Amino acid sequence: MKILLSDAPGGPETLRLQERPTPEPGPGEVRIAVRYVGINYPDTLIIRDLYQYRPERPFAPGAELAGVVEALGPDVQDLAVGDRVAALPMWGALAEQICLPAESCHRIPDMVGDAEAAALQMTYGTALYALEERGALREGESVLVLGAGGGVGLAAVELASSLGARVIAAASDADKLAAARERGADTGVLYPRGPLDRDGQKALSTRFRETLGTEGADIVVDTVGGDYTEPALRCTGWDGRFLIVGFPAGIAKIPANLPLLKSCDIRGVFWGAAIERDPEANRHAMARLFSLCGDGRISPRIHATYDLAEAGSAIEALNGRGVVGKVLVRI
């Protein structure tokens, strides 16, 4: 089988497409013929040894997949050959075949396509966990989403809107704001590309306030970090929840007096660890997301699809800011 391997820390240019023997499923495992792989920002980090997980090399990046079960290991009872499944191995998906525990796989319902299933798990799973489990979102609340054109940001916009929130999308270009509006954002804020000096941060904070109104945001979903975090925190409302999802713009330095003055919470969103701690909750969340997708209430926006031989370019695309929605690799 063909597999894209990371042999040493580095960027996408260090990845090599190689031939390896077809893996055989062990007890409780299934072998999946991979059809689509969702590419996410953590893929750009894990190959550089900059992510929370550091797998032993050589390894293939690729955190999420959709495919077809083609072989069963001993003691597998709940899946059959031919079942369409989605899974979240966290790495290893950029391969023609992969063996995974059967209990970690989710059957894909007929009304959801393979590409949609591959695009749903990490971004929408993170967004749903952020909004409901960490953010305790209530219908009618206002939600400010930073990085609203990215994978998690766009998913947060769409989910928050479908859950009855007023959504304010913030992004770095007009196309991203347009995509967020298509996914349900009520209004948008265009912010400049960083870094921002103090005057730039104050100007952005003023723009947020003008859009949010005097009450501020009940929830801020921060997928950006860096110089954008403080202006958004200053516009968080009383008893608000500021959710730290990621920081591609850098880890922010947060003035500790702001949460005190606003009586607001700063909450981390580490979805990968959450699903390890409570896999059953994640199983219910995935079933819910598949149902929402099948009903047409959410629909992943696919920015581009690459072949396996071009998967390094798919990962490199996320290092820039031109991606709107999701990047996939088709196997």
pLDDT of res. 295: 92
> What average pLDDT does this structure show over 81-85?
98
pLDDT of res. 113: 96
pLDDT of res. 323: 87
Q: Each residue of 171-207: pLDDT tens digit?
A: 999 999 999 999 999 999 999 988 999 999 999 999 9
**Residues 265, 132 share a domain:** yes
pLDDT of res. 52: 82
Q: Each residue of 269-306: pLDDT tens digit?
A: 999 899 999 999 999 999 999 999 999 999 999 999 99
Domain that holds residue 42: 2-108+301-330
Q: Into how many domains does the chain fold?
A: 2
Distances (CA, A) of 204 to 124, 158, 201, 209: 27, 23, 5, 9
Q: What percent of the chain has pLDDT over 90?
A: 92
> What average pLDDT does this structure show over 105-112?
96
Q: Each residue of 16-43: pLDDT tens digit?
A: 999 999 999 999 999 999 999 999 989 9
Tell me the sheet residues that pair with 330.
36, 307
**Residues 238, 181 share a domain:** yes
**Residues 305, 237 share a domain:** no
pLDDT of res. 299: 92
**Residues 158, 82 share a domain:** no
Q: How many Cβ atoms sit within 10 Å of the Cβ of residue 49?
A: 14
**Residues 170, 95 share a domain:** no
Q: Is residue 282 part of a domain?
A: no
pLDDT of res. 322: 81
> What average pLDDT does this structure show over 41-69?
94
Which candidate, 122, 27, 173, 113, places its Cα nearest to that of 299?
A: 113
User: In this structure, what are the phi and psi dihedrals at residue 142, rounded to the nearest 5 degrees?
Assistant: -100, 135
Q: What percent of the chain has pLDDT over 70?
A: 100
Question: 321 pLDDT exceeds 80?
Answer: no
Mean pLDDT, the chain, rounded, equals 95
**Residues 137, 207 share a domain:** yes
**Residues 94, 138 share a domain:** no
Helix axes 114-128, 151-162, angle to 10 degrees: 80
Tell me the sheet residues that pair with 167.
143
Tell me the sheet residues that pair with 182.
none
Q: Which residues contact 261 (CB under 8 A, 6 or more apart)?
A: none
